[in-house]
């Protein structure tokens, strides 16, 4: 957001918000005290963490990944650390415990 | 539907943007994310005041990708009725192409539906508007600081049903909103739970394919109001179904279908002990809650015509 606030003459009539999904500008990562870290070798791509994320802060990307045991996956799940609030649902629900919550150190 | 949907059928495209200010681990946020995935793109959402409204639309930002209208606490259903009527008039006047499908969805919390918005909801159901009304039920007025609502279950602590010498949490039973909707002879009602997302997706899609007034009642765990660790949202939502506290079903034209059968129920204690709002309960009160649940399960089994929700496992 710009440092200068818009005057009332510049705002749309009725103060309607014209840009869909504009809350993306607000990063909620500062709420976090624990950070989820996905172990890509352990992850079985079951989609559960992605589906239960409230933000959504777990991204499903078409990025191939080859595990240490030479298993190839076409998709990768990645945490969007800009928005993750660190609730820990993903780590709690992961069936193979591939997500670890580690303390956020700044 | 020829086959049951699975987690792989949920679309990847997000229709609900991050950056909203809902609490860590909010159940309603998971619901909104997947509800918006299931809605057609030309759907106008009318939202009552409540947690989701204040946390998703902090001016000048919004998390919604659909046309979205905030209306007062009591009249989400009335506002949605107006929007639906306006679409009809615009089509009649030729200002909207007659073939263009614009659907209307109203979303309210339990306070805005069970208590404050009940007459607007009743009017909407009675007049037969083509609207899907979704109530996300976190079982109290969580946004204003955990005051009891008509949806607060028996025994729950809230700030207005405190625990002390005289009071021991809520002493009244939860309102049966599905029963209220059914009394209006609506074509479709359903209950959904954030732990069962393919089921939620299928029900919202199905509701949108039906003309007429519809109601979906959604279970929405609340971290600060129910007093639990944020990571347990889905665990609690699953436990609610496994204990029979919450039953996932749909009633289409009077025919009930339980979408998540539970062959063996767990005792309600398993659900209650996960939440701080029930920590004061005595064994006698837990038995009372178990009795309420047994009654509800017997009622649903009777409507289903067979035992879809089993007995409590020993």
B312 - beta bridge partners? B265
What is the domain range of residue B213? 7-304
**b/e sequence B122-152, b meaning 16+ C-beta within 10 Å:** eebbeeebbbbbbbbbbbbbbbeebbbbbbb
Predicted confidence at residue A106, as pLDDT, reads: 65
B contact test, residue of A13, A55, A95 with most B CBs within 10 A: A55
Confidence of residue B2 (pLDDT cuts 50, 70, 90): low
pLDDT at A2 over 90: no
Our measurement of the distance from residue B205's CA atom to the centroid of its chain's CA atoms, rounded to an integer in Å, reads 15
- Strands A65-66, A72-73: pairing kind: antiparallel
The whole-angstrom distance between B60's CA and the closest CA on chain A is: 6
Mean pLDDT of B102-114: 96
Residues in chain A: 106
Q: What is the CATH number of the domain that holds B94?
A: 3.40.50.970
Angle at B297 between CA B292 and CA B300, to 5 degrees: 125
Predicted confidence at residue B235, as pLDDT, reads: 96
Our measurement of the distance from residue B217's CA atom to the centroid of its chain's CA atoms, rounded to an integer in Å, reads 3
- Say what percent of chain B tops pLDDT 90: 97
Distances (CA, A) of A89 to A106, B10, B71, B170, B231: 23, 19, 32, 29, 4
Mean pLDDT of B37-52: 95
B228 in a structural domain = yes
Q: Which of A:36-65 have CB within 8 Å of B?
A: 46-48, 51-57, 60
Whole-number Å distance between alpha carbons of B271 and B235: 9
Q: Domains in chain B: how many in total?
A: 1
CB B294, CB B311: distance < 8 Å:
no
Q: CATH number for the A27-103 domain, one of 3.30.479.30, 3.30.70.20, 3.40.30.10, 3.40.630.10?
A: 3.30.70.20
| Residue B199, token pair as written in the block | 């089921």
> Which residues in chain A are contacts of B8 at CB distance < 8 A?
47
The whole-angstrom distance between B200's CA and the closest CA on chain A is: 12
pLDDT at B98 over 90: no
List Cβ neighbours of B259 (8 Å cut-off, separation of 6 or more): B196, B199, B202, B203, B248, B249, B250
pLDDT at B306 over 70: yes
- Residue of chain B minimizing CA distance to A6: B60
Using the beta-carbon criterion (under 8 Å), do A92 and B232 form an inter-chain contact? yes
Interface check for B31 against chain A (CB to CB < 8 A): the answer is: no
Mean pLDDT of B8-14: 95
- Residue of chain A minimizing CA distance to B229: A87
B310 in a structural domain = no
Interface check for B193 against chain A (CB to CB < 8 A): the answer is: no
pLDDT digits (tens, 9 = 90+) for B124-135: 999 999 999 999
Mean pLDDT of B89-106: 94
| Residue B31, token pair as written in the block | 């619901």
Confidence of residue B65 (pLDDT cuts 50, 70, 90): very high
Confidence of residue B60 (pLDDT cuts 50, 70, 90): confident
Using the beta-carbon criterion (under 8 Å), do A89 and B17 form an inter-chain contact? no
B161 in a structural domain = yes
Strands in B89-161 per DSSP E: 103-109, 131-137
B314 in a structural domain = no
| Residue A5, token pair as written in the block | 């606030």
> DSSP code of B163?
B
Interface check for A25 against chain B (CB to CB < 8 A): the answer is: yes
Using the beta-carbon criterion (under 8 Å), do B17 and A82 form an inter-chain contact? no
pLDDT at A1 over 70: no
Q: Which of B:230-269 have CB within 8 Å of A?
A: 230-235
Identify the CA nearest to B142 among candidates B27, B280, B270, B273.
Answer: B27
Q: Where are the domains of chain A?
A: 27-103
**b/e sequence B166-184, b meaning 16+ C-beta within 10 Å:** eebbbeeebbebbebbbeb
The whole-angstrom distance between B4's CA and the closest CA on chain A is: 17
Mean pLDDT estimate for chain B: 95
pLDDT at A40 over 60: yes
pLDDT digits (tens, 9 = 90+) for B258-283: 999 999 999 999 999 999 999 999 99
Predicted confidence at residue A4, as pLDDT, reads: 84
Whole-number Å distance between alpha carbons of B96 and B98: 6
> Which residues in chain A are contacts of B233 at CB distance < 8 A?
52, 54, 87, 89
CB B65, CB B36: distance < 8 Å:
yes
B139 in a structural domain = yes
Identify the CA nearest to B151 among candidates B227, B244, B245.
Answer: B245
Identify the CA nearest to B237 among candidates B192, B204, B280, B276.
Answer: B192
pLDDT digits (tens, 9 = 90+) for B117-169: 999 999 999 999 999 999 999 999 999 999 999 999 999 999 999 999 999 99
Predicted confidence at residue A81, as pLDDT, reads: 96
Interface check for A97 against chain B (CB to CB < 8 A): the answer is: no
């Amino acid at each position: 957001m710009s440092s200068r606030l818009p005057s009332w003459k510049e705002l749309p009539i009725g103060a309607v918000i014209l840009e869909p999904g504009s809350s993306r500008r607000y990063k909620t990562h500062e709420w976090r005290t624990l950070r989820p870290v996905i172990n890509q070798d352990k992850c079985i791509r079951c989609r559960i963490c992605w589906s239960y994320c409230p933000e959504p802060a777990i991204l499903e990307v078409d990025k191939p990944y080859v595990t240490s045991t030479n298993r190839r996956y076409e998709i990768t799940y990645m945490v969007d650390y800009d928005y993750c609030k660190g609730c820990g649902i993903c780590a709690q629900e992961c069936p193979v415990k591939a997500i670890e919550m580690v303390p956020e150190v700044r | 539907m020829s086959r049951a949907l699975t987690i792989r059928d949920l679309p990847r495209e997000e229709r609900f943007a991050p950056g909203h200010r809902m609490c860590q681990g909010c159940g309603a946020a998971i619901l909104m994310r997947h509800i918006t995935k299931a809605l057609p793109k030309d759907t106008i959402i009318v939202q009552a005041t409540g947690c989701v409204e204040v946390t998703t639309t902090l001016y000048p930002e919004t998390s919604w990708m659909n046309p979205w209208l905030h209306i007062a606490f009591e009249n989400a259903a009335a506002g949605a009725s107006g929007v639906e009527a306006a679409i009809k008039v615009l089509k009649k006047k030729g200002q909207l192409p007659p073939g263009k499908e614009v659907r209307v969805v109203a979303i309210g919390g339990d306070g805005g539906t069970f208590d404050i918005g009940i007459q607007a909801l009743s009017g909407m159901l009675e007049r037969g508007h083509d609207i899907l009304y979704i109530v996300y039920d976190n079982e109290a007025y969580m946004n204003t600081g955990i005051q009891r609502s008509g949806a607060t279950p028996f025994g729950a602590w809230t700030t207005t049903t405190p625990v002390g010498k005289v009071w021991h949490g809520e002493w009244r039973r939860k309102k049966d909103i599905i029963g209220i909707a059914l009394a209006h002879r609506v074509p479709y009602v359903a209950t959904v739970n954030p732990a069962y997302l393919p089921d939620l997706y299928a029900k919202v899609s199905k509701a949108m394919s039906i003309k007429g007034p519809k109601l979906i009642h959604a279970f929405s765990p609340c971290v600060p109001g129910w007093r639990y660790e944020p990571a347990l949202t889905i665990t609690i939502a699953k436990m609610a179904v496994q204990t029979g506290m919450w039953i996932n079903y749909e009633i289409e034209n009077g025919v009930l279908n339980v979408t998540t059968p539970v062959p063996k129920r767990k005792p309600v204690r398993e659900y209650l002990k996960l939440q701080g709002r029930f920590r004061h309960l005595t064994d006698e009160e837990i038995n009372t809650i178990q009795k309420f649940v047994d009654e509800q399960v017997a009622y649903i089994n009777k409507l289903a015509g067979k035992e879809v929700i089993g007995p409590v496992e020993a």
